[in-house]
Structures are given as structure tokens and as C-alpha cells.
């Protein structure tokens, strides 16, 4: 149509046709014929669109979707969460506790409708209570408890627990040693007898000790291949340097090669005392029967009243702002952890830090779903694809703690990821919405309940709480403490532990692009003008 108009005008007044009109008509004609040509609306040519302009527009559109989510998602999940009621928790099973004359505590939670039970021994001792020369003894001792007693050889011990279809396990942490058995309801007394025999009558045969050295050295090699374990061990080493809490649980290789039978027996004599031990049971158990069995079986324990709190007071865990970096270009991904000094188990701020941990959240690329999670940090990481995974952690100890984030990312994403993490963490000290806090409180309470599904998690909860709090906190009380945390409390705690505070950093892999310590330190506060 435009070409016809041009020809008509040219025929009617070929002399009066101005050049500009001809150009405009010709341009519109070409635009009508070719849809791939940009129409010319002025005498100045339009700038050429570059690829990075398109990339910027793409990111803007993603951020716009983040700020204004589609209604079809909000249709099924309200953006304004309501605090869930947990009044039904008041009817949860009672935890009964009996303290024997020698200081040994027995705690049970009965569920007579269950067909299984878990019985365990929790000892208030771990790698933290070792010296530099004996570091690794607690973990070594955990291994040796399974190598035979005066009544049962190693083979007899393994066959007896297998013949009743039971499971026997143990683990060592920086502050606790635990070993427990899970059995059918008809084998509870037999399992308790096995645990008492292992704790009091283990034979530390020199030949067995030498064999176990090689097993632990191989275990150390396996742990060194698990990058996350290496990063977190180095994080403790730099955060609590020159203190017992900075030592590893396995200990150095030279100690493993030199630990003797006397070292193991001295550790038992010093730390395996009745006031430091909790016998816990859950499931198909009766409290009176368990107490009576414990009185008859656990008769050789020392009643030394030296508490772990006194040992901690002699060598407290002082936090040091510092970093450790291990550049290894052979690793495909960079892994790093950033941590602030946290709260102890008994510190009232520990509950608020638990809520903050839930608010920051965790995310893994393999599970997806991050674009619509409640955590703003998880949303940014997922939408911009700047990490493979992130994990917020809150580790508590008797006198201190670690609160931080562990992340895995490609080398070219480290700068963006570091910025996103520090922005999300520092924002807790400045701007927190009640909706985010309510959502985190609901998530935290649900996760605590879900983690207590089964007799083994219940027993672990009982044993740990008796060693850390001196009692088991009822679920209703714990939930009330969580519900008392509001946006104001989050701001106060974040100002206490995060705002303008030193941090510890541990990183490994191709980390050349990870910002330096001063960069992170400057972003613990915002400059406002």
C-alpha cells in the first residue's frame, strides 16, 4: 500500500514531491515488505542492540518476577504466613529422669505401643577435653569399645547383637561420646547388658590397638577426601586457634600412631565418671525397669564429681577473626565457609540464632525449587544460578558457637555469591519483616518435630539435652521460646553477633576469585548517608 502511495504521489506531482517525504514513504514501504528491518521514524539511525543489552534485560525480568511473583503461585501459598498452633504438643510423652546416688542419670520416654526401643550411653567428654599430645584419644576409644570385653570376645559381641536383629553404633563429637543399640522390645535388657559390658569391661589388647591404628588412619584418608569435612575442620581450627575446641576429632596422624593402652585407660578414668554419663532409652521401655537394670549393671563407674564446666573454664574457646585458604585448581568447584561467633547451648540468644538460620535457609541445585522459597538468599542464588549449594549452620558448644554459611560454587561465580551471602546476613541487623520471621518459626518447629521421628532420634535428643541443659526441655516450652522471637529480637541478636563483628573464613579449591578477608569484614555493616 505504501509503494502504491509513493508511485501515485510521484505521478501526480513529480516536481513538487519533496525529498524528505519520498524518504519517509520509501522507509515505511520497505518496513512493510521486510518484517526484519527496523522502521525509520526519524532522520537519525537507531543504535544497534548488543548481546549484553539483552542479557541485562533478561536479568531485570528475572528480578521483576522475584519482586512480583505470579498470582498462580500465590493462589496455593499465601505470601502472608500465619503462626501455626502447636497446643497439641502439650500431650506429648513425658521424659522421666532418675539420678542415682553416684550421680548417674537415667532418662526414658516410654511408648508402650512401639515394638522397638533404643538404649544409649551419652558421655560428657570428647576431643575438646584432650591435650595436644593425646588429641584423637576419644575417637580411638570409641573404636576400641567394640573390640571385645572380659566376658565377650569381639566375635561374640558382634554375633550376639546380630542374633537378636539389633543395631549397634557409636560416634564422637568435640564435646560428647555416644554409643547406642536399637533392638526389639523383647531384647531391651540384653542390649543394656551389652552396653554396660562395653563401657566398663573393654579389653584394650595391644594387638587390637595396633590393628585399629591402621583402620583409623584409613578413615582419616577418607575424611580428607570429603571436602566439606575438611573445610569445617579448618574453620574450627582458625576460629578457635590455640584452644582445645580448634582441634580435630580424629587427631593428627602422629598421635594415632603413638596412642597407648595407658592413654586410653587414663581417658576413661578421668572422663567416664558417673556424673558425666546419661543412660537414655525410648520406645518400648518402662522407666522403673530400666532404672533397676542400670543399678545392677553399671556398678564400676567412678563417682568423681569434676564437671566438664570446670574443665572448660580452665581452657575456654576464644574466637579469633581469621581465615585459612587452600588453593587447589584440581578441584572442579570452590567450597568455602563464613562464620561468626555464635551462642552457647544455654545462652538465651541461641533460639533466635536458630530462627535466623532458618530464615537464611539452605538450597541445593539438585533439588531445585529455590525460585519460590521463603529465603531471599535462596531465591537470589537460584534465579541467578551463582551456586551449586548453600547451607546455613548454627553449631552450639558449652561456652560458644559458630553461626555461618557453607557454600559450593563455580570459580567464576564466587564474587557474586559472596555479595549475595553478605547482603543477606548483614540485612538481618537492619531490616527484617514479620512475615519472614513467622515463616521461619513455623519451618523451625516443623523441622524439629520431623527430626524426632523414631526412637533413635528421641534418645539422641534426650541424651544431648541432659548433657547440655541438665534437663530435657519439653517441646511445648521450646516452641513457646521460638514463638517469642519476633522481628525486633532478630534485629537485636543480629546486631550483637553480626553487625561490625569479626568472622572466620575457610576455603578450598579454585578460590582465586573469592574476595579477601577485608572485603568480607567491610560488609558486616552498611554505610548509610
Give me the mean pLDDT over the 423-433 stretch: 95
In a domain, 70, yes or no: no
pLDDT above 90: residue 499: yes
pLDDT at residue 22, as a whole number: 46
Same domain, 278 and 366: no
* pLDDT level of residue 378 (50, 70, 90 thresholds): very high
In a domain, 237, yes or no: yes
Same domain, 308 and 332: no
In a domain, 163, yes or no: yes
The three cell numbers locating residue 353: 540464632
As a whole-number percent, the residues of the chain with pLDDT over 90 amount to 70
pTM beyond 0.95: the answer is no
CA distance 300 to 244: 29
- What's 259's domain CATH number? 3.30.830.10
CA distance 268 to 301: 10
Same domain, 264 and 330: no
Give me the mean pLDDT over the 251-276 stretch: 92
Give me the mean pLDDT over the 217-222 stretch: 93
Select from 207, 210, 213 the least CA-distant residue to 250.
Answer: 213
In a domain, 60, yes or no: no
Give me the mean pLDDT over the 217-232 stretch: 93
- What are the φ and ψ backbone dihedral angles of 88, each rounded to 5 degrees? -65, -15
Residues in the chain: 529
Q: Say which residue, 148 or 356, is predicted with more confidence.
A: 356
Q: Which of 289, 314, 339 is the last residue of a domain?
A: 314
pLDDT above 80: residue 89: no
Give me the mean pLDDT over the 390-396 stretch: 96
User: pLDDT tens across 444-489, in order?
Assistant: 999 999 999 899 999 999 999 999 999 999 888 999 999 999 999 9
Buried b (16+ CB within 10 A) or exposed e, 146-174: bbbbeebeeeebeebbeeeebebebebbb
In a domain, 64, yes or no: no
Domain span at residue 195 reads 95-314
Same domain, 332 and 255: no
Same domain, 344 and 487: yes
In a domain, 33, yes or no: yes
Catalytic residue among 109, 212, 323, 341: 212
CA distance 383 to 373: 11
Same domain, 119 and 250: yes
- From residue 257, alpha-carbon distances to 86, 134, 148, 269, 355 in Å are 53, 11, 21, 22, 43
Can you spell out the DSSP letters for 213-240? HHHHHHHHHHHHT-HHHHHHHHHHHHHT
Same domain, 285 and 353: no
pLDDT above 60: residue 498: yes
Same domain, 420 and 448: yes
Catalytic residue among 142, 175, 323, 388: 142
The three cell numbers locating residue 318: 576464644
Same domain, 427 and 339: yes
Strands 177-184, 504-509: parallel, antiparallel or unpaired by DSSP? unpaired
pLDDT at residue 197, as a whole number: 94
pLDDT at residue 66, as a whole number: 56
User: pLDDT tens across 119-166, in order?
Assistant: 999 999 999 999 899 999 999 999 999 998 999 999 999 999 999 999
Q: Say which residue, 328 or 4, is predicted with more confidence.
A: 328
User: pLDDT tens across 286-319, in order?
Assistant: 999 999 999 999 998 888 877 788 888 788 899 9
* Residue 160: active-site member: no
Same domain, 119 and 153: yes
pLDDT at residue 21, as a whole number: 53
Give me the mean pLDDT over the 16-40 stretch: 45
Select from 378, 355, 357 the least CA-distant residue to 368.
Answer: 378
Q: Which of 299, 314, 329 is the last residue of a domain?
A: 314
* Residue 70: active-site member: no
pLDDT at residue 114, as a whole number: 87
Angle subtended at Cα 222 by Cα 220 and Cα 223, rounded to the nearest 5 degrees: 65
In a domain, 353, yes or no: yes
Same domain, 417 and 488: yes
Output the 3-class SS for 480-505.
HHHHCCCHHHHHHHHHHHCCCCCCEE
- Mean pLDDT, rounded, of the chain: 86
* pLDDT level of residue 7 (50, 70, 90 thresholds): very low
Q: Which of 275, 291, 314 is the last residue of a domain?
A: 314
- Work out how many domains the chain is built from and give that number: 3
* pLDDT level of residue 12 (50, 70, 90 thresholds): very low
Give me the mean pLDDT over the 253-266 stretch: 92
User: pLDDT tens across 155-201, in order?
Assistant: 999 999 999 999 999 999 999 999 999 999 999 999 999 999 999 99
In a domain, 193, yes or no: yes
Same domain, 279 and 379: no
Amino acid at each position: 500500500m505504501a509503494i502504491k502511495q509513493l508511485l501515485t504521489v510521484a505521478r501526480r506531482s513529480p516536481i513538487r514531491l519533496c525529498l524528505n517525504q519520498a524518504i519517509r514513504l520509501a522507509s515505511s514501504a520497505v518496513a512493510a515488505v521486510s518484517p526484519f528491518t527496523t522502521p525509520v521514524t526519524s532522520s537519525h539511525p537507531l543504535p544497534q542492540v548488543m548481546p549484553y543489552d539483552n542479557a541485562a534485560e533478561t536479568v531485570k525480568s528475572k528480578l521483576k518476577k522475584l519482586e512480583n511473583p505470579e498470582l498462580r503461585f500465590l493462589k496455593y501459598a499465601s505470601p502472608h504466613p500465619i503462626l501455626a498452633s502447636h497446643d497439641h504438643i502439650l500431650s506429648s510423652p513425658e521424659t522421666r529422669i532418675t539420678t542415682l546416688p553416684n550421680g548417674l542419670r537415667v532418662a526414658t520416654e516410654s511408648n508402650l505401643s512401639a515394638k522397638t526401643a533404643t538404649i544409649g550411653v551419652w558421655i560428657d567428654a570428647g576431643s575438646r577435653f584432650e591435650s595436644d599430645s593425646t588429641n584423637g584419644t576419644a575417637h580411638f576409644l570409641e573404636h576400641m569399645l567394640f573390640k571385645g570385653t572380659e566376658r565377650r570376645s569381639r566375635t561374640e559381641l558382634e554375633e550376639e547383637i546380630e542374633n537378636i536383629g539389633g543395631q549397634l553404633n557409636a560416634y564422637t563429637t568435640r564435646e560428647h561420646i555416644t554409643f547406642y543399640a536399637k533392638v526389639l522390645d523383647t531384647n531391651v535388657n540384653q542390649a543394656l547388658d551389652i552396653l554396660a559390658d562395653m563401657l566398663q569391661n573393654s579389653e584394650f589388647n595391644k594387638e587390637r590397638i595396633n590393628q585399629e591404628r591402621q583402620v583409623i588412619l584409613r578413615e582419616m584418608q577418607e575424611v580428607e577426601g570429603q571436602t566439606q569435612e575438611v573445610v569445617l575442620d579448618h574453620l574450627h581450627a582458625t576460629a578457635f586457634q590455640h584452644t582445645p575446641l580448634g582441634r580435630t576429632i580424629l587427631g593428627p596422624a602422629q598421635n594415632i600412631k603413638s596412642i597407648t593402652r595407658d592413654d586410653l585407660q587414663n581417658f576413661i578414668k578421668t572422663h567416664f565418671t558417673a556424673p558425666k554419663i546419661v543412660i537414655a532409652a525410648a520406645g518400648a521401655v518402662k522407666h522403673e525397669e530400666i532404672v533397676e537394670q542400670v543399678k545392677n549393671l553399671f556398678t564400676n563407674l567412678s563417682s568423681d564429681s569434676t564437671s566438664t564446666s570446670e574443665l572448660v573454664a580452665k581452657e575456654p574457646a576464644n574466637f579469633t577473626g581469621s581465615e585459612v585458604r587452600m588453593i587447589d585448581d584440581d578441584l572442579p568447584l570452590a567450597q568455602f565457609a563464613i562464620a561468626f561467633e555464635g551462642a552457647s547451648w544455654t545462652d538465651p540468644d541461641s533460639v533466635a540464632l536458630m530462627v535466623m538460620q532458618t530464615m537464611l535457609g539452605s538450597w541445593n541445585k539438585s533439588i531445585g525449587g529455590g525460585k519460590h522459597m521463603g529465603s531471599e538468599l535462596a531465591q537470589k542464588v537460584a534465579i541467578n544460578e551463582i551456586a551449586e549449594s548453600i547451607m546455613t549452620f548454627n553449631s552450639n558448644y558449652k561456652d560458644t558457637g559458630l553461626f555461618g554459611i557453607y557454600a559450593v560454587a563455580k570459580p567464576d561465580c564466587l564474587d557474586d555469591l559472596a555479595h549475595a551471602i553478605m547482603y543477606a546476613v548483614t540485612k538481618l541487623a537492619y531490616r527484617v519483616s514479620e512475615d519472614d520471621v513467622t515463616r521461619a518459626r513455623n519451618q523451625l518447629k516443623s523441622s524439629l518435630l520431623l527430626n524426632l521421628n523414631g526412637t533413635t532420634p528421641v534418645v539422641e535428643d534426650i541424651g544431648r539435652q541432659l548433657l547440655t541443659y541438665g534437663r530435657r526441655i519439653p517441646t511445648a516450652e521450646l516452641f513457646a521460646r521460638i514463638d517469642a522471637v519476633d522481628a525486633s529480637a532478630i534485629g537485636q541478636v543480629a546486631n550483637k553477633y553480626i553487625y561490625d563483628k569479626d568472622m572466620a573464613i575457610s576455603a578450598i579449591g579454585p578460590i582465586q576469585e573469592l574476595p579477601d578477608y577485608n572485603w568480607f569484614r567491610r560488609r558486616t555493616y552498611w554505610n548509610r548517608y
